[in-house]
Amino acid sequence: MSRLDRTLIADLAPFQGMHAADLDTMLGQARSMRIVKETAIFEQEGEAHSFFLLLDGHVRVVKTTPDGQQVIVRYISPGELLGIARALGRTTYPASAIAAVDCVALAWPSRLWSEFAAAFPSFGANTYKAVGARLQDAHARVIEMSTEQVDRRVAHALLKLIQQTGRKTEDGLLIDFPLSRQDIADMTGTTLHTVSRLMTVWEERGLVKSGRQKVTVVQPHKLLLLAEGHVDK
């Protein structure tokens, strides 16, 4: 990994404020890996042996409930850390991480977590900031699931994904990784039937376009109004 150029990570949020020599030290202890689409990077309750930085691709984080239901907790985009169980005081992974597309990542042994956080204060502070943001997001999701109607939850989910990964096309903002209607249902705590019905209605109204595992938000402003409850279904 010594041949890896530090500029690959220097501008990423977890590493901002770090000195060049410190970046080289971290990279020197990383290993690169390629993950084939639909492969598990780690599994829920498995030993937290490593933490990772996603360089390319998208990863969905999936939590299995005690009754066996799978919920997509979030999607990880390039430049984000994942598998940071040690930052949460855990020795096992709280959820599974599945490659939504072919991915490239860096991996470090989890035993290095505390060393890096102590030796490189910027890295530790940046990472705990990210953990805090994710916990806040999870709290907001719980509130959405318990208080909002399904159409608003689905609208919020699509808006979050275009904010995270949206790519401009002639039709609108394309969510730039494969996304099925079942995935949307798993993100929003509803059924495939309900999501399919909503997406059909929204396509007829010109809000979205969808195809085989592709979703484009055509009118994000109108979808935002719907998400906030300002327009009729």
pLDDT tens for residues 184-196? 999 998 999 999 9
* pLDDT at res. 2: 44
**CATH 3.40.50.970 given to domain 148-227:** no
* pLDDT at res. 1: 41
* pLDDT at res. 3: 64
Write the CA distances from 167 to 78, 136, 172, 175, integer angstroms.
14, 26, 8, 7
For 102, residues 6+ apart whose C-beta sits below 8 A from its C-beta are 34, 35, 36, 37, 57
Distance CA 86, CA 50 (A): 9
Domain ranges of the chain: 6-138, 148-227
Of residues 61, 75, 105, 82, the one with CA closest to residue 14: 82
77, 166 Cβ separation under 8 angstroms: no
Of residues 112, 109, 135, 136, the one with CA closest to residue 123: 112
What's at 35, amino acid-wise? I
* pLDDT at res. 139: 74
The parts of the chain modelled with pLDDT lower than 50 are 1-2, 233
What's at 33, amino acid-wise? M
Fold of 6-138: Jelly Rolls (2.60.120)
Distance CA 11, CA 79 (A): 9
Tokens of 229: 């409850």
213, 178 Cβ separation under 8 angstroms: yes
For 149, residues 6+ apart whose C-beta sits below 8 A from its C-beta are none
* pLDDT at res. 232: 53
What is the DSSP code string of the chain?
A: -TTS-THHHHTSGGGTT--HHHHHHHHHT-EEEEE-TT-EEE-TTSB--EEEEEEES-EEEEEE-TTS-EEEEEEE-TT-EE--GGGGT-SB-SSEEEESS-EEEEEEEGGGHHHHHHH-HHHHHHHHHHHHHHHHHHHHHHHHHHHS-HHHHHHHHHHHHHHHHEEE-SSSEEESS---HHHHHHHHT--HHHHHHHHHHHHHTTSEEEETTEEEES-HHHHHHHHTT-S--
* pLDDT at res. 231: 59
95, 46 Cβ separation under 8 angstroms: no
